[in-house]
Amino acid sequence: MSSVTLKNIVKRFGSFTAVHRSSLEIAEGAFVTLLGPSGCGKTTNLRMIAGLLDPTEGEILIGGRRVNDVPIHKRNLGLVFQNYALFPHKTVAENVAFGLKYRDIPAAEIPDRVQSALDLVQLPDVGERYPKALSGGQQQRIALARAIVIEPDVLLLDEPLSALDANLREDMRVELKRIQARIGVTTVFVTHDQSEALAMSDQIVVMSAGKVEQVGAPEEVYNTPASEFVANFLGASNILDGRCTDRGGGTVTIEAPIFGRLSIPAEKAPNLAGEGAAKLVVRAEKLVLSTSEAGEGAVSVPATVETVDYQGQAVRYFVRAGETQLQAINMIDEHPFAEGSAVHLHLRPQDCAGLPG
């Protein structure tokens, strides 16, 4: 295992700057996800760590050693890409063993190392088959086995699940996290899928337009977004323009449309210093629709259901309260509220977050 450090990394392609002053500390054994939309710079960062791209400025350290000038084959990294890149004319065992042949591994040890890697990805009996005989999920596991058989210092995963169907992708993210936890390898995972990032990561790095927007544990970046971009990209949020009127005693008071004056925990609005323009962030699942008014400790406002987006166990509602449209995601037992229904929106102040206006 090795730590990974990026220090003020800049990457330019001609006049275009793909990465702006990216700095990051990845601890040994951590599972860290670079998350963001297409073109945000996450894959560019990964490729610079791998040695596939050279940074224009800044330093990259692996295990405390500067590797800017170290070629990819001397960095001892495991790589898994979206297309898996398996050799079709080689057997599964030959694919997995490929990286070992370029290391000082005695030939007699290679079969055992390959079999151990296949056992780890729960495909112990496919060594003599060819990639075309495997399903997409099996090919993904073989690509992972090939990456980990060399016992890498760092495992780099570039959207390895995106080619799989939805159900298999969910199964594989659980399996991938299990394998990573078992071998304890430092892992950098790139995805644009918020649910993957939240489910798998020890730490999430949210990126936008080549810049790091926020770094933190999944619960932190989800519940206390550092910017409007993070609040919108990671989950579904209602963001209301308001005003901060007071900060003190462990709370921040924000006046916002529809909900009036709310006192939220100060740790949910770390960047609000005092009076001034503010934004109230309300996660869609924190707005609860009901036929009755809220009990003590919650705010209740009347609203009308405009659109119903049924999703099985949950439903996303678009509702109108006064002149404001909001979205709410609620679990349901049987049937959702119908369009046109008069409802009450329940909101607990402690479930809100605040951002500078």
For 13-65, the pLDDT digits (tens) are 999 999 999 999 999 999 999 999 999 999 999 999 999 999 999 999 999 99
Question: pLDDT-derived band of residue 248, with 50, 70 and 90 as boundaries?
Answer: confident
Is it the case that residue 166 has pLDDT exceeding 90? Answer: no
At 102 the pLDDT is 81
At 65 the pLDDT is 94
How many residues are present in the chain? 357
At 297 the pLDDT is 84
Q: Average pLDDT over the chain, rounded to whole?
A: 93
Q: Please list the residue range(s) of the chain that carry CATH number 3.40.50.300.
A: 4-223
Average pLDDT over residues 128-134: 95
Average pLDDT over residues 324-346: 93
Average pLDDT over residues 171-197: 93
Spatial distance between the Cα atoms of 184 and 29, rounded to a whole number of angstroms:
5
At 35 the pLDDT is 97
Sheet (strand 314-321) strand order? 288-290, 342-347, 299-310, 314-321, 324-331
SS3 call for 223:
helix
Is it the case that residue 82 has pLDDT exceeding 80? Answer: yes
Q: What are phi and psi of 52, to 5 degrees?
A: -80, -20
Q: Please list the residue range(s) of the chain that carry CATH number 2.40.50.140.
A: 236-356
At 1 the pLDDT is 62
At 170 the pLDDT is 87
At 34 the pLDDT is 97
Average pLDDT over residues 175-191: 94
At 157 the pLDDT is 95
Average pLDDT over residues 7-15: 96
SS3 call for 214:
strand
Quote the CATH superfamily of domain 4-223.
Answer: P-loop containing nucleotide triphosphate hydrolases (3.40.50.300)
Going by C-beta distance under 8 Å and a sequence separation of 6 or more, which residues neighbour residue 38? 192
Range list of β-strands (E), the chain: 4-13, 16-26, 31-35, 57-62, 65-66, 77-80, 154-158, 186-191, 203-208, 211-216, 237-248, 251-256, 260-265, 276-283, 288-290, 299-310, 314-321, 324-331, 342-347, 352-356
Percentage of residues in the chain with pLDDT exceeding 90? 82
The domain defined by 236-356 folds into OB fold (Dihydrolipoamide Acetyltransferase, E2P) (2.40.50)
Tell me the per-residue pLDDT of 293-328, one tens digit each, with 9 for 90 and over.
Answer: 887 889 999 999 999 999 988 999 999 999 999 999
Average pLDDT over residues 186-204: 95
143 close to 80: Cβ distance less than 8 angstroms: yes
